[in-house]
Amino acid sequence: MDPAVAAEAELVAQLQQGSEAAFRTLVERYQDRIYRVVLSLLRSPEEAEDVAQEVFVEVHQTISRFRGEAGLSTWLYRLATSRALKNLRRARAKKRFAYFTSLLGFGNEVLHEAPTHAHPLALLEGQQQLGLLLEHIARLPDQQQVAFTLRHEQELSYEQIAAVLNTTVPAVESLLFRARKTLRTRLQPHFRHD
């Protein structure tokens, strides 16, 4: 057995026995990866931290049901992406509701849009094109956005992405192809002017 796989199985066994030390090891081992993947989908450090915490709380509460059909990191990525997407959908619904209430004239306050956050590092470096790219990635359909983010920001393999999305490698290739085509079309005018 691969030593990494054996170590992961051992960690899962300890977690299922309720070991506090094992849980600490898990959090410290995966916190950066989980935080980054959530941040790349939500673009808000506060929300990303919140969702990353929720992911580990969920792991603690449901580890007894983990049967090891997928790898531990795949399961964590799956929890993280689904929670991040749920947050995104909630934010979009809130935005739509705010828009309708403003159209119907309920309340006189200014349209209370949920803030959209630019990627913090893009802001720091002032890279306009990168900011634009991130903005267009955020507008992709959910599955394409997750696949594209896992591939290009987290550098996961096609097989890993397929496992996280619970789909096949050809389906991942198709998602990435369509995402790239959309991004190229939307960004082409900006490339030509440079």
Contact residues toward another protein (CB under 8 A) are 24, 27-28, 31-32, 35-36, 39-40, 45, 48-49, 52-54, 56-57, 60-61, 119-122, 127, 129-130, 133, 152-155, 180, 183-184, 187-188, 191-192, 194
Indicate the residue among 45 and 166 with the shorter CB distance to another protein: 45
Chain centre to alpha carbon of residue 141? 13
Question: Distance between CA 81 and CA 89 in Å, rounded?
Answer: 12
Question: Which among 99, 77, 88 is positioned nearest to 139, based on CA atoms?
Answer: 88
Nearest residue (CB) to another protein, 113 versus 184: 184
Closest approach of Cβ 70 to another protein, in Å? 22
Instruction: Report, in Å, the least distance between residue 45 CB and another protein.
Output: 7
Q: To the nearest whole angstrom, how small is the minimum distance from the Cβ of residue 2 to another protein?
A: 25
Q: What spatial distance separates the first Cα and last Cα of the chain, rounded to whole Å?
A: 53
Shortest CB 73 distance to another protein, Å: 17
